[in-house]
Amino acid sequence: MSPTVRQDAYGTTPDGRAVHAWTLEATGGLRATVLTLGASLAALTAPAPRASPGPVVLGLPSLSVRTGDHPYLGPVVGRYANRIAHGRFTLDGTEHRVPVNDRGHALHGGPDGFHRRVWRAEPTADGTGVELSLHSPHGDMGFPGALDLTATYRLAGPGTLAVDYRAVTDRPTVVNPTNHAYFNLAGHGTVHDHLLEVSADHYLPVTTEGIPYGPPEPVAGTPFDFGRPVRLGGRIADGHPQVRAAGGLDHCWVLRAAGPGELRHAATLAEPSAGRRMEVWTTEPGVQVYTGNNLDGTLPGADGRPLPQHAGICLETQHLPDSPNRPEYPSTVLRPGRVFRSRTEFRFSTKN
């Protein structure tokens, strides 16, 4: 049976913009709710062998909370996900500046990034999802070039939520979108008892401000080695200086090589009590793992209960942070006449 796709009114932002919710539902219990505000994955429900179908991403209780300040619960962030050092980069000999919003650096496209925009939306031609589109004019948050970006969420087979990105520009720019959902496969509490595996032999150490300070380093012999499933709580509490400085994990893993446009395994997250398991596959070269270190119990979740520190984990498939200033990293430059494409799949199962 084909997935069902439904659009509903969700509310109006304080400045009068109408927001809609798109619900994608498939037989078997996978259901996603996507908001046009920020192209946000606002809710995701998945089945479990030892529990009823339940929420697996952190949500927010209302539109009024979502339009306020929160640590990117579910939106597509851009034009450039992650950090650009000092909000500056040079492209073709011209320096560009993005407003800084994180310890003197630009984070997730700046303070008025794509997470704050209301995107246009329509069902996909095959009826399996929703395509959201956004026009970002030349100079938007300091980025050069007018950019047209689409983010398409679709239910792509049993237990799979796929997110596709496509972008074109009218002059050279940089682009690096990602989804910023916080996963909790138990649906409550923290992710300390979750098991994480990451398909990477190297990661990027960072300064205390989250900026990579050199080339990728081997994960072997460090708390960043997730070559086999490892309980997150032990690694979050590790005394390694990189972990202590971040209050947990907030680092980019460099994924093992794959062909252009080829899906590669990025990570597997499992939660033993409910029995849920999620594989992340992507065409991107990196995954930023962030364990909700800055959640502090002041933000209410979808059920109104406070979200404690480490209530969720983000697995942000993307190019590497600060790539516009690092010619040795894979390029994030998009030029006229070229098409940026990226795909990430979240594959849910109940096998242990």
Spatial separation of the C-alpha atoms in residues 2 and 195, rounded to whole Å = 32
Structure tokens, 10 = 């969700």
Q: What predicted TM-score, i.e. pTM, was given to this entire model? A: 0.97
Spatial separation of the C-alpha atoms in residues 304 and 306, rounded to whole Å = 6
Decide if 181 contacts 44 (C-beta within 8 A): yes
Q: What's the CA dihedral at 275, 198, 152, 11 to 10 degrees?
A: 60
Task: Report the SS3 class of residue 242.
Answer: helix
Decide if 94 contacts 140 (C-beta within 8 A): no
Distance separating the N- and C-terminal Cα atoms of the chain: 26
The residue from 180, 194, 251, 310 that is catalytic is 180
Structure tokens, 207 = 């300064």
* Helix, strand, coil % in the chain, rounded to nearest 5: 10, 45, 50
Instruction: Report which DSSP code applies to 313.
Output: B
Give the residue from 85, 99, 91 showing the smallest Cα distance to 142: 99
What's the confidence (pLDDT) of residue 352? Answer: 54
**180 is an active site residue:** yes
**135 is an active site residue:** no
DSSP assignments along 163-225, one per residue = EEEEEEESS-EE-B-EE-PPB-TTSSS-STT-EEEE-EEEEE-B-TTS-B-SS-EE-TTSTT-
Q: Which residues of 300-335 are buried (b: 16+ CB within 10 A; e: fewer)?
A: bbbeeeebeebbbbbbbbbbbbbbbebeebeebebe
Spatial separation of the C-alpha atoms in residues 76 and 67, rounded to whole Å = 14
Cβ burial of 291 (10 Å; 0-12, 13-18, 19+) is buried
Task: Report the SS3 class of residue 324.
Answer: helix
Residues in Cβ contact with 25 at an 8 Å cutoff, skipping those fewer than 6 apart: 3, 4, 6, 31, 32, 155
- Show pLDDT as tens, one digit a residue, over the chain (352 residues): 678 999 999 999 999 999 999 999 988 889 999 999 999 999 999 999 888 889 999 999 999 999 999 999 999 999 999 999 999 999 999 999 999 999 999 999 999 999 999 999 999 999 999 999 999 999 999 999 999 999 999 999 889 999 999 999 999 999 999 999 999 999 999 999 999 999 999 999 999 999 999 899 999 999 999 999 999 999 999 999 999 999 999 999 999 988 888 999 999 999 999 999 999 999 999 999 999 999 999 999 999 999 999 999 999 999 999 999 999 999 999 999 999 999 999 999 976 5
Rg (CA), the chain: 19
Spatial separation of the C-alpha atoms in residues 28 and 85, rounded to whole Å = 44
Give the residue from 151, 190, 343 showing the smallest Cα distance to 273: 190
Q: What is the pLDDT of residues 83-107, one digit of tens each?
A: 999 999 999 999 999 999 999 999 9
The residue from 271, 279, 316, 345 that is catalytic is 316
Decide if 150 contacts 17 (C-beta within 8 A): no
What's the confidence (pLDDT) of residue 336? Answer: 98
